[in-house]
Amino acid sequence: MTEAPLIVPSTSGPRASAAHDQDDLLSGLNPQQLAAVTYRGPALLIVAGAGSGKTSVLTRRIASLLRGREAWPSQILAITFTNKAAGEMRERVAGLVGEASRGMWISTFHSACVRILRREAEQFGFTKSFTIYDSGDSRALIKRLVKDHEADAYGLTPASVQGRISKLKNELQDSESYARDANMSDPAERKFVEIFADYQRRLRKANAFDFDDLIGQTVYLFRAFPKVADTYRRRFRHILVDEYQDTNHAQYALIHELTRPVSADAPDPYASNGMMIFEPETAPELEGASLTVVGDSDQSIYAFRGADIRNISEFERDFPGARVVLLEQNYRSTQNILSAANAVIGNNFDRKDKKLWSDRGDGDMIVGFTGYSQHDEAQFVADEVEMLRRAGMPYSEMAVFYRTNSQSRALEEIFIRSAVPYKIMGGTKFYERAEIKDALAYLISVANPADEMSVRRILNKPRRGIGDVTETAIARFAEDHGISFREALSMPAQLGVGPKIQAGIAQLDAVLKEATEILLPASGEVPPPTSVADGLSLLLAKSGYLDALRASRDPQDEARVENLDEFVAVARDFARNNPEGTIADFLTEVALVSDADDLDDESGSVSMMTMHTAKGLEYDAVFVTGVEEDLIPHRISAGEPGGPQEERRLFYVGITRARKRLHLSLAMTRAQFGEVSVAMPSRFLQEIPAELVDWRQSPGDVNSRGGMQSRALNARRGGFGGGSSSGGDRFGVKKLPPRDSLKPLSTSMDKFTNKVTGKVRDNGDLELAAGDRIRHDDFGEGRVDAVTGEGAKRIAHVRFDSAGLKKLLIKIAPIEKL
């Protein structure tokens, strides 16, 4: 985040005396920000509204601690939600204090916990090389367990079991503590408890933690081994937590453990360096670390994942004597955008009133648009993007948000067709692709042979003729002889399987052994930095995995080979950045990267992402799409306690990302599961004062021009149309008519010339030149102004007779030359 008023012109002349050291940190701050940077005490809560400069405040606070010699870098622990946010904070602190920033822990909850767990794993029965199971991995394991326990008969699905286990772990419950309170006379409950316990046993046996365990087991470690906890309490004297409103109970407990005072008896290695500002050196015990948290309960959007808003609302009770600082001035958005945001969030009743304000002036009006279909809506977005681009706004300053990932497809189709460069944050993640997971499973099989899931995964990849029967035989053999699944692979002759399969197993075993020598050289030798990449290449090549893909005639396999190349490149990159990184470090990094992390804006393309991913980001122009009932608020949220309110916060997060221009759009019909259904405008739209919105095409317009006489929509027109609304019907929102009072619009839609479809055609090598006239399926006739680009990426700039100026990707546009 960048907030203009905080950017300080570099002072001329050398920064000579210590007295002036803090000047550049403090200048340009408003009084609240100043207090947030300079307050010293055991606990500080910074309530930071959207765009109020919290990142600046946090980084300056850290810099000020370091510059004032109040803390060594190693005594600072700063927690963020994404690796990207962590990297950004590290960079900004480095910009303020230079070298002194090294040695700080600035990381996510998950990475910090992995670091601690790797160090301490042996204390409680794990090894340093434990595996991290992502949700897909644990889903697979739970699926097996549900099957083994025949639990589907009790209505337990893998998804529900996984969800419940995750929730419980976020509450720091285990199967035993849960069983104590559960109704164990219910057979489904008993089954669930069995599976939960079994799941945990399997994880332990596999030397693995799932995502939730990373936090929960660290808390457990601290509680079970106070001496271990004390070393970290001594070390971290200043703990700062960002996005505190999204912490769950386990994370809260972790922070609590870390900020406890240290009991007196143990020696204190840090007491002698004179850095302890809170206590005299002779004190018998060490006070708890100083805690700073930053958050905004209006931006809490992860309750579904266990985030507990009470962590922030009850902070003052949890940490008596805490100071609270409120940052309400917004440095990001224009007043129109903020007024809309305030109006929307004001409908949540259980919040402390807080009004964002800006001194940047009203700015442009919010633009509203209703499309007939999602394609139509997407075309509006694409057109508007092009208009802003022509007006000088770079693509990288624009973003399109949607509620669910599936909405991105229609947008993508139109963007491709309109030759708008874009990139999608999220969706199918690189590390969730099958081939990457296979490659990872190979690496894990070497790094952590106890992880049976991974070994089983690669057993028959590539095909070695090993099916269920052989797999079970191996498992039985291992069990009978008290050895691990992995070890059983090294004695294929004794498994009682055919010679061909024996050879396959022997070959796999040999490859894994060879890779082990590269990745984990025996007896204390330090592997060279390139070992991870080398080991990976060897595994992929000698296992026959790559050859099998290359030999395949499935066109997708070509892309898979490229992905694997990319993955090897990631490993080489890793070696470059971490010369001493081990295979375990590499696997950690890979397991913990997330979508929000690879946002990189240099490429000059429009960003598309879900509103969840958008948190913490900002853009000059923002398009919030699909502002419809059942989408935002999402249908499923209605059944959850606090669901609709969380949806409203999510919408609020979306609109407060915009600096200058905000667009809200929806479609009257939306296709899902291949079927077209009618959509209704979101209730949130009604909560925005009508005078702030310039409707290019309101829901009412679509309705009347579509020839539909729906009372439901006409009744709402006052709120949507024309900007002259009295707001009289703004409170009628809750009485939405049943959906079937609307007939699908599709029957009458066919009349409309600007109905845009997702149609694509392969024009092969159609030649166009300036001056040509063409006909487009959706836009009608037009004249080519210019042609740019090369080969498959040639773009026609066309002036349509009625639809205006458009860019078209010639290869796929539904056009013909006249």
Partner DNA sequence: GCGATACTCACTGAG
Partner DNA sequence: TGAGTATCGC
Q: Which two tokens stand for residue 572?
A: 């080489």
Residue of 120, 213, 230, 243 marked catalytic: 243
Which parts of 148-207 interact with DNA (CB under 7 A)? Answer: 166
Minimum CB separation from DNA for residue 593, in Å?
Answer: 8
Residue of 417, 560, 657, 661 marked catalytic: 657
Label residue 807 exposed, middle or buried (CB < 10 Å: 0-12, 13-18, 19+).
buried
The answer to whether 55 is a known catalytic residue is yes
Scan for tokens 């090894």, then name that residue: 127
Interface stretch with DNA, choices 183-191, 369-377, 670-678, 724-732 (CB under 7 A): 670-678
Which parts of 608-627 interact with DNA (CB under 7 A)? Answer: 609-610, 612-613
Site track for DNA across 63-102, x = CB under 7 A: ------------------xx--------------------
306 appears as a binding residue in the annotation = no
Using CB under 7 A, which of 209, 211, 315, 331 touches DNA? 211
Contacts of 180 (CB under 8 A, 6+ apart): none
Cβ proximity to DNA: between 36 and 591 the closer is 591
Question: For residues 42 and 287, is the Cβ–Cβ distance under 8 A?
Answer: yes
- Judged by DSSP in three states, 171 sits in coil
Minimum CB separation from DNA for residue 200, in Å?
Answer: 15
For residues 713, 715, 717, 718, the Cα torsion angle rounded to the nearest 10 degrees is: -160
Say whether residue 463 binds DNA (CB under 7 A). Answer: yes
Question: For residues 677 and 628, is the Cβ–Cβ distance under 8 A?
Answer: no
Site track for DNA across 567-606, x = CB under 7 A: -------------------------x-xxx----------
Cβ proximity to DNA: between 71 and 301 the closer is 301
51 appears as a binding residue in the annotation = yes
Question: For residues 811 and 794, is the Cβ–Cβ distance under 8 A?
Answer: yes
461 appears as a binding residue in the annotation = no
Contacts of 61 (CB under 8 A, 6+ apart): 36, 37, 240, 292
Label residue 226 exposed, middle or buried (CB < 10 Å: 0-12, 13-18, 19+).
middle
Say whether residue 231 binds DNA (CB under 7 A). Answer: no
53 appears as a binding residue in the annotation = yes
C-beta contacts of 432-435 below 8 A and 24+ residues apart? 432/134, 432/136, 433/560, 433/563, 434/560, 435/549, 435/560, 435/563, 435/564
54 appears as a binding residue in the annotation = yes
Cβ proximity to DNA: between 254 and 276 the closer is 254
User: Residue 36: which H helix or E strand, with range?
Assistant: helix 31-38
Minimum CB separation from DNA for residue 508, in Å?
Answer: 13
Contacts of 735 (CB under 8 A, 6+ apart): none
The answer to whether 657 is a known catalytic residue is yes
Using CB under 7 A, which of 468, 600, 762, 765 touches DNA? 468
Minimum CB separation from DNA for residue 442, in Å?
Answer: 18
Using CB under 7 A, which of 426, 723, 780, 804 touches DNA? 426
Amino acid letter, 244 = Y
Question: For residues 581 and 443, is the Cβ–Cβ distance under 8 A?
Answer: no
Residue of 137, 230, 242, 778 marked catalytic: 242
Cβ proximity to DNA: between 406 and 753 the closer is 406
Number of residues counted as binding DNA (CB under 7 A): 46
Whole-angstrom distance, CA of residue 650 vs CA of residue 615 = 9
Site track for DNA across 119-138, x = CB under 7 A: ----------------x---
Cβ proximity to DNA: between 408 and 710 the closer is 408
Say whether residue 403 binds DNA (CB under 7 A). Answer: yes
Say whether residue 789 binds DNA (CB under 7 A). Answer: no
Which parts of 628-667 interact with DNA (CB under 7 A)? Answer: 634-637, 640, 643, 646
The answer to whether 33 is a known catalytic residue is no
Tell me the C-alpha to C-alpha distance, in Å, between residue 211 and each of 135, 202, 329: 7, 15, 36
The answer to whether 242 is a known catalytic residue is yes
Which parts of 285-344 interact with DNA (CB under 7 A)? Answer: 302-305
Q: Using the CB atoms, write b or e for 95-122: b if 16+ within 10 Å.
A: ebbeebbeebbbbbbbbbbbebbbebbe
Question: For residues 393 and 581, is the Cβ–Cβ distance under 8 A?
Answer: no
Say how many CA atoms lie within 13 Å of 452 toward its Cβ.
20
Q: Which two tokens stand for residue 536?
A: 């990976």
Say whether residue 413 binds DNA (CB under 7 A). Answer: no
Contacts of 805 (CB under 8 A, 6+ apart): 386, 785, 797, 798, 799
Residue of 32, 33, 54, 582 marked catalytic: 54
Say whether residue 405 binds DNA (CB under 7 A). Answer: yes
Active site residues: 54-55, 242-243, 299, 657
Query: Footprint of DNA on this chain (CB under 7 A)?
Result: 81-82, 108-110, 135, 143, 166, 211-212, 302-305, 403-406, 426, 460, 463-470, 592, 594-596, 609-610, 612-613, 634-637, 640, 643, 646, 672-674
Annotated binding-site members for ATP: 48-55
